[in-house]
């Protein structure tokens, strides 16, 4: 692992809303830092985190001093983490935390997050068939058979319907087949639409 290969500085702002409010946005923060750091340092931001990237440890150290000076001048507090790219971590390499030293607890937590994210991604892509039922106004079936079914198919989910009519409302049972993540999205949309249709039927325009 060479010292002259891909260093990253991560600045997590403790008071993100207040800090962004004083400086308007992260772009402003970035512009103020640019004259203070080496041209070899690349700055970026993501919501409440500012990143600095450099090819050498010396350059990232200079960037850190400039950022700490800027934060102190603004009276802002942040968690600063220095990482080094390690080609031997994971299948394609990953960032190895150098300062502060990464603890075994941190590494275990990060591994758990990776496993959970991979499992969630695998589950979202897995094709399954799932039943689902809602109660809506009696005239809603036609809408579900046309608009809702077409929207579901456009999202990659096949939707079939069985109606169980009652006196004032109707229960509509669905069978959805497709990727689990897309089925979740279709079901949430069906729930929201069912409430809207019921309100429209109760209070027609």
Same domain, 89 and 153: no
Residue 195 φ then ψ, to 5°: -65, -40
Residues 59 and 5: beta-carbon distance below 8 Å: no
What pLDDT, on a 0 to 100 scale, did the predictor assign at position 16?
Answer: 57
- Domain assignment present for 109: no
Along the 205 residues of the chain, how does pLDDT read in single tens digits?
Answer: 444 569 999 988 866 555 544 533 434 455 555 556 677 888 877 777 888 899 999 999 988 988 888 788 877 778 899 999 988 766 666 888 899 887 655 666 666 777 787 888 888 888 999 988 877 655 666 777 788 888 888 989 988 887 666 555 667 788 899 999 999 998 888 888 776 665 544 433 3
Q: What is the CATH number of the domain that holds 191?
A: 3.30.70.860
The answer on 63 and 22 residing in a single domain is: yes
Is 84 part of a structural domain of the chain?
yes
Look at residue 54 in the predicted model and tell me its pLDDT. Answer: 93
The predicted model scores a pTM of 0.45
* Domain identity same for 82 and 133: no
Are 13 and 96 in a shared domain?
Answer: yes
- The answer on 95 and 151 residing in a single domain is no
Q: What is the pLDDT of residue 138?
A: 58
Instruction: Report the CATH number at residue 20.
Output: 3.30.70.930
User: Does residue 73 fall inside a structural domain?
Assistant: yes
Whether 107 is in a domain gets the answer no
Task: Answer for the pair 101, 117: CB distance below 8 angstroms, yes or no.
Answer: no
Q: How confident is the model at residue 136, as a pLDDT?
A: 65
Same domain, 60 and 139: no
Residues near 94 by beta carbon (within 8 Å), at least 6 away in sequence: 85, 86
Reduced 3-state DSSP string for 61-119: HHHHHHHHHHHHHHCCCEEEEEEEEECCCCCCCEEEEEECCCCHHHHHHHHHHHHHHHH
Domain assignment present for 117: no
Do 31 and 95 lie in one domain? The reply is yes
Is residue 142, in this structure, part of any structural domain at all? yes
| Domain match, 52 and 91 both | yes
Whether 62 and 144 share a structural domain: no
> Does 174 reside within a domain?
yes
Angle at 15 between CA 21 and CA 52, to 5 degrees: 90
| Residue-level pLDDT at 204 | 39
12/63 same-domain check: yes
| 137 and 180 co-located in one domain | yes
The strand pairing partners of 173, in sequence order, are 133, 162
CA distance 174 to 78: 50
Domain assignment present for residue 119? The answer is no
How far does CA 14 lie from the centroid of its chain? Answer: 20
**How many domains, in total, are found in the chain?**
2
Contact 26, 43 (CB under 8 A): no
Q: Residue 178: which domain range? A: 127-202
């Amino acid at each position: 692992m060479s010292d002259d290969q891909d260093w990253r500085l991560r600045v997590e702002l403790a008071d993100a809303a207040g800090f962004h409010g004083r400086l308007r946005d992260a772009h402003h923060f970035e512009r103020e830092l640019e004259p203070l750091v080496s041209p070899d340092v690349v700055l970026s931001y993501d919501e409440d985190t500012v990143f600095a990237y450099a090819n050498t440890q010396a350059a990232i150290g200079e960037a850190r001093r400039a950022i700490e000076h800027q934060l102190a001048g603004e009276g802002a507090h942040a968690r600063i983490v220095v990482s080094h790219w390690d080609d031997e971590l994971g299948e394609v390499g990953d960032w190895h935390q150098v300062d502060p030293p990464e603890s075994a607890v941190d590494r275990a937590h990060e591994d758990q997050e990776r496993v959970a994210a991979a499992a969630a991604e695998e589950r979202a892509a897995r094709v399954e068939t799932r039943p689902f039922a809602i109660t809506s106004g009696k005239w809603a079936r036609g809408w579900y058979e046309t608009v809702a079914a077409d929207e579901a198919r456009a999202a990659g989910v096949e939707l079939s319907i069985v109606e169980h009519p009652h006196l004032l409302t109707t229960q509509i049972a669905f069978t959805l087949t497709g990727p689990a993540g897309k089925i979740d999205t279709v079901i949430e949309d069906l729930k929201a639409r069912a409430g809207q249709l019921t309100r429209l039927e109760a209070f027609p325009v």
